[in-house]
Amino acid sequence: MEPLFDPVWISNREHLERFHEIRSATPWYRVLLGGTYTLPLDFPYMEIGARKFPLVYFSSGKLIIEKNLVTYAAHTGSSTLLGNPRRNLNTSLAFSIDSAEPPTMRRFRARMSPFYFSINWIELTLPGRALLLCVGGSGPGMGRKQERTTGFPAPWVPGQAGQQSSAPAK
C-alpha cells in the first residue's frame, strides 16, 4: 500500500511572506484582547467565533506517494479545523509528479515568529512553479509536523524512499 499523507498543507514563499506581513501588522495584544487580523479579501483564514486568523497555507489535501508517482488532490467542499471553518482555501488544486520529471527538492524553514508558525516545509521546484509542502495539523501537536514533514519519501531519488532529500537545508 502506498504512503498516504492527509492532511498535507500547500503553500509557497509568497504566501508565507504575506502571512508574516499580516501577522506583523497586528499587535499581539490586540488579538489577545479579542481583536482580529485585518486580512486581504482573498487570503485564507480560519474563523473562531467572529475572529479571523490567517493560515500559513492556501490548500489542504491528500498526498499519495507511489513507486514512480506522487499525486496531490485538495480537499473539496466546506473545510473545518477543530470545528472551525476555514475560508478562501484553494479546493481545486491538484498535481502529479512522476519519475520522468523529478523536481528539485529541499527543506525550507520560514523565519517567522512565534515558533508555532516556524515549521519545516519541503520545497518542490518544478518547471514554472515552486510549492511548499508540510504534513498539516493543529493544536499542541504542531511539533510533530517537523518529524512527519522531514519523513516524506522521495520515490524519484534512488535509495531515498522514506528519507530526506540530500539537498542542503535552508
- Note the pLDDT tens digit of each residue in 14-39: 999 999 999 989 998 998 899 999 99
CA pair distance 150, 160, nearest whole angstrom:
12
Would 155 be classed as within a structural domain?
Answer: no
Would 166 be classed as within a structural domain?
Answer: no
- Residue 82 gets the label, from left (phi > 0), alpha (psi -120 to 50) or beta, of left
Calculate Rg over the CA atoms of the chain. Answer: 16
Would 158 be classed as within a structural domain?
Answer: no
β-bridge partners, 126: 129
| Summary mean pLDDT of the chain | 79
Would 84 be classed as within a structural domain?
Answer: yes
- Note the pLDDT tens digit of each residue in 130-166: 999 998 765 544 455 445 555 555 555 444 444 333 3
CA pair distance 134, 151, nearest whole angstrom:
10
Would 21 be classed as within a structural domain?
Answer: yes
Would 167 be classed as within a structural domain?
Answer: no
Would 164 be classed as within a structural domain?
Answer: no
Domain extent for 106: 4-150
Higher-scoring residue by pLDDT: 146, 129: 129
Number of folded domains that form the chain: 1
Would 58 be classed as within a structural domain?
Answer: yes
